[in-house]
Amino acid sequence: MLKVNLLTRDGASIAFDAEPSDTLLDAAANANIFLPAVCREGGCGTCRVTRKAGVVVLGPHSKAALTDDDRAAGDILLCRAKACSDLELTAPFDKAAIGFSPIPERSARVTEISPAGAGAVRLVLQYEDDPTHGRATEFIPGQFMELTLPGTSITRAYSLANTPNWDGTLEFLIRLHPQGVFSAYLKSEAKIGDPILVKGPQGSFTADEASHAPRWFVAGGTGVAPMLSMLRQMADFGDTREARLYFGVNTLDELFALDIIEDLKTSLPNLAATLCVWKSAPDWRGFTGTPADALAAALAAESAHPDIYVCGPPALIKATEALSLSAGVAHDRIFSEQFSPA
């Protein structure tokens, strides 16, 4: 049995034993430590941590989840790594992102499906009352839930766009993909009252509360959902720090959630939002380009470094990370969550 020690972003030390035959994710789960992970197949990068000491063998994985450079720098994926020696790891997430009991699975029902710009929907669910959990929606803004497609065992992960609440409401913004099974369900079959199994909360893409730096959010499409959740919570708590939102879509008709963003600007006086449309449109007076382009210009004009939160497709994450690093933002001040078609 090998010893693994993982140091979280907020300085907590998490220790567990690992058999050389188990992935680190499974070894931790065997010790009732549920580390952040989504695809568990080396595809999403959610479980990426940095190896400070020790040797692992790393199984097949996507280059988008772990680039060769990251790997050379010591990064590993917990779902793909097996220990060959005792290990010292550092994680980019807080202890709060780690579960110490199995992730709750709860029943919910569809209460609303409405369009969110061209090509996305707003899905609202309501938890059923539950003897263990009551009906509260408890999570940390930025986290996601795994939803099970009714009548199947197919699951998809979506970030929550609302804030923790006591009436059991879960709000998601979901991009409709032409080939996606969940998208097909949402587009043509879903109806009010459908039962949906919800597994969560999960994920480590949460605001670093210990940092006093400004928060800059970079979102592509429905990647704005976890940002809205974090910003709504900041509004609820009267957080007066500087915040910026760079929210981008491909075409003008895809813009959505503008009313929510306006409300946020009212309740967060130090929030500036930049809407970015990639393909120029004649009647568009806002920023034309990607949110990464807008961020690059803003970082160039700024001397102090903000914390960067980015969520969206892999290309946006990659561009944001690269340009933030070159602008001098430290590696551990860039927090990302990437999503893939569903």
Partner 1 sequence: MFCYQCEQTYRSDESAGCAGPKGMCGKDATTSDLQDILLHVCEGIGQYLRRARTLGAIDADADRFVLYAFFTTLTNVNFNAGKFVELIQQAAQHRDRAKALYEKAAQTAGKTPERLSGAAAFIPAKDMNGLLAQASAAAVKKDAATLGDDVVGLRSLVLYGLKGVCAYAHHAEVLGQERAAIYAAVEHALDLLASEPREIGPLLDEALALGHANFSAMEALDAANTGSFGTPVPTIVRMTPIKGKAILVSGHDLKDLHAILEATKDKGINVYTHGEVLPAHSYPKLKAYPQLVGNYGGAWQDQQKEFADFPGPIVMTSNCLIEPQPRYRGRLFTAGPVGWAGVRHIENGDFSQVVQAALALPGFNEDAAEETVTIGFGRDAVLGVADKVIDAVKAGAIRHFFLVGGCDGAAPGRNYYTDFAEHAPQDTMVLTLGCGKYRFNRHDFGTIGGLPRLLDMGQCNDAYSAIVVASKLAEAFGVGVNELPLSLIVSWFEQKAAAVLLTLLALGVRNVRLGPTLPAFLTPALVNVLVEKFGIQPIGDAKADIEASLSRAA
Name the site residues for partner 1 (rule: CB under 8 A).
94-98, 100, 130-136, 138-140, 164, 166-168, 207, 209-210, 212, 233, 236-241, 304
Q: What is the 3-state secondary structure (H, E, C) of 52-64?
A: EECCEEECCCCCC
Query: Considering the complex, what minimum distance in angstroms separates the CB of residue 240 from partner 1?
Result: 6
Query: Considering the complex, what minimum distance in angstroms separates the CB of residue 143 from partner 1?
Result: 11
Query: What is the distance between the terminal CA atoms of the chain, rounded to a whole angstrom?
Result: 38
Query: Considering the complex, what minimum distance in angstroms separates the CB of residue 335 from partner 1?
Result: 15
Query: Considering the complex, what minimum distance in angstroms separates the CB of residue 134 from partner 1?
Result: 4
Q: 247 φ, ψ to 5°? A: -115, 120
Query: Quick one: 153 or 237, whose CB is closer to partner 1?
Result: 237
Residues 178 and 181: their CA atoms lie apart, in Å, by 9
User: CB 146: neighbour CB atoms within 10 A?
Assistant: 18
Query: Quick one: 21 or 303, whose CB is closer to partner 1?
Result: 303
Query: Quick one: 137 or 290, whose CB is closer to partner 1?
Result: 137
Residues 275 and 85: their CA atoms lie apart, in Å, by 48
State whether residue 303 is helix, strand or coil. Answer: coil
Query: Quick one: 18 or 28, whose CB is closer to partner 1?
Result: 28
Query: Considering the complex, what minimum distance in angstroms separates the CB of residue 96 from partner 1?
Result: 3
Query: Quick one: 50 or 169, whose CB is closer to partner 1?
Result: 169
Query: Considering the complex, what minimum distance in angstroms separates the CB of residue 5 from partner 1?
Result: 19
DSSP 8-state assignment for residue 12 = -
Read out DSSP for 161-206?
-S--BSS-EEEEEEEPPTT-HHHHIIIII--TT-EEEEEEEE----
Q: How does 270-284 read in b/e, with b if 16+ C-beta sit within 10 Å?
A: ebebbbbbbeeeeee
Query: Considering the complex, what minimum distance in angstroms separates the CB of residue 99 from partner 1?
Result: 9
Query: Quick one: 240 or 267, whose CB is closer to partner 1?
Result: 240
Query: Quick one: 142 or 223, whose CB is closer to partner 1?
Result: 142
Q: Which residue has the tokens 């001040």?
A: 333
